Amino acid sequence: MELVTRNYWWPGVIKEVKRYVEGYDQCWRMKNRAEMLAEKLRPNKISEKLWQHILVDFMMKLLVSKGYDLILVVCDRFLKMLHFVVTTEKIMAEGLTRLFRDNIWKLHGLPESVILDREP
């Protein structure tokens, strides 16, 4: 009350501020949210075999070396074994599929689940 009346005054200011403060909690709870609510978190499956569940990420914005500027990182969740595959930022979905086939699938088979990093 002191902060409001320090700079402002009108007839009935005390009653109006009290009414506003009392209704604030209800207003906040009833407010419509513009953003989507996040899903409940689900725990990842626990790996029981090698290369059954993998993590995939990209190391981007690297200095160009021998024409390559991106590294595809594939990690086995059971032993934390890693594969690093060099490529370029110009790679498309078909090229990524070939890289996966030639460097991961031929060595370890098709995984049961793949978790991708969804950053830009």
Q: Is residue 106 part of a domain?
A: yes
Torsion of CA 106, 108, 113, 118, to 10 degrees: -70
Residue 80 lies in a domain: yes
**φ, ψ at 66 (rounded to 5°):** 55, 35
Q: 73 is in which domain, residue-wise?
A: 53-116
- pLDDT of residue 56 exceeding 70, the answer is yes
Domain count for the chain, please give it.
1
Q: What is the pLDDT of residues 22-43, one digit of tens each?
A: 777 766 666 666 677 777 888 8
pLDDT at 112 over 80: yes
Mean pLDDT taken over the chain: 86
The rounded distance, in Å, linking the Cα atoms of 1 and 98 is: 67
The answer as to whether 36 is a domain residue is no
Contact 47, 108 (CB under 8 A): no
State the DSSP H helix or E strand holding residue 5, giving kind and residue range, or none if neither.
helix 2-7
What is the model's pLDDT at position 120?
54
Least confident of 15-24, 55-64, 74-83: 15-24
What is the CATH classification number for the domain harbouring 71?
A: 3.30.420.10
Q: In angstroms, rounded to a whole number, what is the distance separating the alpha carbons of residues 25 and 41?
A: 28
- For residues 39-61, average pLDDT: 87
Q: What's the confidence (pLDDT) of residue 31?
A: 64
Please name the amino acid found at residue 54. Answer: I
Residues 72/85, Cβ–Cβ less than 8 Å? yes
Q: What is the pLDDT of residues 65-77, one digit of tens each?
A: 999 999 999 999 9
In a domain, 65, yes or no: yes
